[in-house]
Amino acid sequence: MSSNITDTYPEYSRTAKLDTLRATQYGYLDEQDHIYLDYTGAGLAARTQFQAHRSRLDGATFGNPHSENPTSRSATDLVELARRRVLTHLNASPEDYQVIFTANATGAAKLVGEAYPFTKKTKLVLTADNHNSLNGLREYARQRGTKAKYIPMRPKDLRIDTEAVVKSLTRPRTWPWRRSSKAQKGLFVYPAQSNFSGVRHPLSWIKLAQDLGYDVLLDAAAYLPTSALDLSTVNPSFVIVSWYKVFGFPTGVGCLVARRDALAKLARPYFAGGTVTAATVAVPWHMLVSGEAAFEDGTVNYLSIPDVHVGLDWVSAVGMDTIATRVRCLTGWFIDRLLELRHSDGTRMIVMYGPVDTESRGGTVAFNFLDAEGKVVDERLVAQESSQAHISLRTGCFCNPGAGETAFGIAAGTLRRLTSHKDGTFDDFLRIAHLPTGGAIRVSFGVASTCKDVDYFISFALKTYKDRITTSDGLKPRPGC
């Protein structure tokens, strides 16, 4: 294989302006001698974003938005501007969608779960490829008698067949001449992009599910950092977002972007300051305010929410198409070089989980190293040694147990034995499940990534693991997954 990325991915040359930004706006990486490969965990912020935050706080005074005084009005105006900027970024009409600010994507998912009208007659359908923030919705469903159903993945590439989606969303035949369609309603939940494997699941599933009578909750947390989501083209009922994953700063601000008609179906089991027009104590009565304010408990993060506006302006100025092209090229280049890694006897040095090409996938790559004896290198050892080499990457199961179970071939029968184990450590779980390691290695690319980052990691991999026999002796116990 050529040592020049542009020989294989010539379009990489069109992203050269990102090299300039890496040296200036993200220059702290090179100044700190650091290789950052965890963009699925968190994006990185440009220096311009930090400067805008400082300038705004130096130039004005802001107060609690729940008032009409001057400082309150200043804060309210910037929060409302940020709401509109989110809708603009998603190409969503304010007549159709509302923006609810939350602490993160998990908080956004929880808002839907606790308020969705689950009953014994509805279904909760999830893909097996879901973050635990979405898997947790099954607890709300269970409490109200709703059954949760998971759609399986293909073990080889961790993709999901559309036929399996249709089968899970439709009621099985009860009579030879009758098939239910819209009679079986409920909530369908899936990620636009897997946080484990980088697989991009079809956005066409949204209309498919809606035509069958389902509301759709789309997890866009891993998708939005490198792709545009056009809500004028696809119309999910709910979209959840964590903004620090898109542009690094601020942390602690996410969104539930909800269609107005879908939001009207939710019945909140709780009220708080800022969510009610009025509430009484002498009699148990309250009236929720209308729209997004009914779901924003207490005071929103009004000093940080305006930074969402700044961040969206920044990535828009850089160009989502440019970011997407760079990440796709680097991902393909990285996978190509990973698959070429060999020990001296010709045996592979890695095993990959998920697609081995760039078709319908994002910039997240999951794999494990294989040592000279063919056994999986303990991910704790990789975490330790990559850190010593100033590399930030992710190890473990990434809060996505379904993808991990499929990738590592864990049978349901094995997992059922775990239900009787209420105590013990995560390592006890691994022994019961007969797993050779506690997860995988995840490398992911973003706006400030360069081909030099790939070169550095591949060099590290060859230097550290080629022809080596590894052991787990002396490693700390795993805290969990």
Q: With 70 as the cut, is the pLDDT of residue 480 above it?
A: no
Answer whether CATH 3.90.1150.10 is correct for domain 5-46+319-465. yes
Across 34-38, average pLDDT: 98
- Please give, one letter per residue, the 3-state secondary structure of 39-102: CCCCCCCCHHHHHHHHHHHHHCCCCCCCCCCHHHHHHHHHHHHHHHHHHHHCCCCCCCEEEEEE
More confident residue, 406 or 189: 189
Q: What is the pLDDT of residues 51-97, one digit of tens each?
A: 999 999 999 999 999 888 999 999 999 999 999 999 999 999 999 99
pLDDT tier at 407 (50, 70, 90 boundaries)?
A: confident
Instruction: Round to whole Å and give the CA distance between 200 and 229.
Output: 12
More confident residue, 447 or 179: 447
pLDDT score, position 43: 98
pLDDT score, position 211: 95
Q: With 90 as the cut, is the pLDDT of residue 401 above it?
A: no
Q: What is the pLDDT of residues 335-394, one digit of tens each?
A: 999 999 999 999 999 999 999 999 999 999 999 999 999 999 999 999 999 999 999 999
DSSP H stretches of helix in 422-481: 426-432, 451-465
Q: How far apart are the first and last CA of the chain?
A: 37
Across 104-121, average pLDDT: 96
Q: What is the pLDDT of residues 180-193, one digit of tens each?
A: 455 558 999 999 99
How many Cα atoms occupy the beta-carbon half-sphere of 70 within 13 Å?
2
Q: CB of 239 within 8 A of CB of 220?
A: yes
pLDDT score, position 414: 67
Q: What is the pLDDT of residues 191-215, one digit of tens each?
A: 999 999 999 999 999 999 999 999 9
Cα–chain center distance at 166: 24
Instruction: Round to whole Å and give the CA distance between 72 and 61.
Output: 9
Across 268-294, average pLDDT: 85
Say how many C-beta atoms besides its own lie within 10 A of residue 153's C-beta: 26
Stretch among 9-18, 273-282, 343-352 having the lowest mean pLDDT: 273-282
pLDDT score, position 180: 47
Q: What is the pLDDT of residues 282-303, one digit of tens each?
A: 888 888 888 788 899 889 999 9
pLDDT tier at 478 (50, 70, 90 boundaries)?
A: confident
Separation in Å, CA 385 to CA 393, 431, 437, 463: 11, 24, 16, 11
More confident residue, 420 or 123: 123
Among the listed residues 16, 1, 37, 13, the one whose alpha carbon sits nearest the alpha carbon of residue 333? 1
Tally DSSP H helices, then E strands, for the chain: 19, 15
pLDDT tier at 179 (50, 70, 90 boundaries)?
A: very low
pLDDT score, position 415: 67
- Catalytic one of 255, 329, 397, 399: 399
Q: CATH says 64-317 is which class?
A: alpha beta
Instruction: Round to whole Å and give the CA distance between 335 and 420.
Output: 40
pLDDT score, position 178: 45
Across 456-472, average pLDDT: 97
pLDDT score, position 175: 36
Q: With 90 as the cut, is the pLDDT of residue 173 above it?
A: no
Instruction: Round to whole Å and give the CA distance between 73 and 451.
Output: 47
255 is catalytic: no
pLDDT score, position 184: 53
pLDDT tier at 177 (50, 70, 90 boundaries)?
A: very low
Map out the domains of the chain as residue ranges.
Answer: 5-46+319-465, 64-317
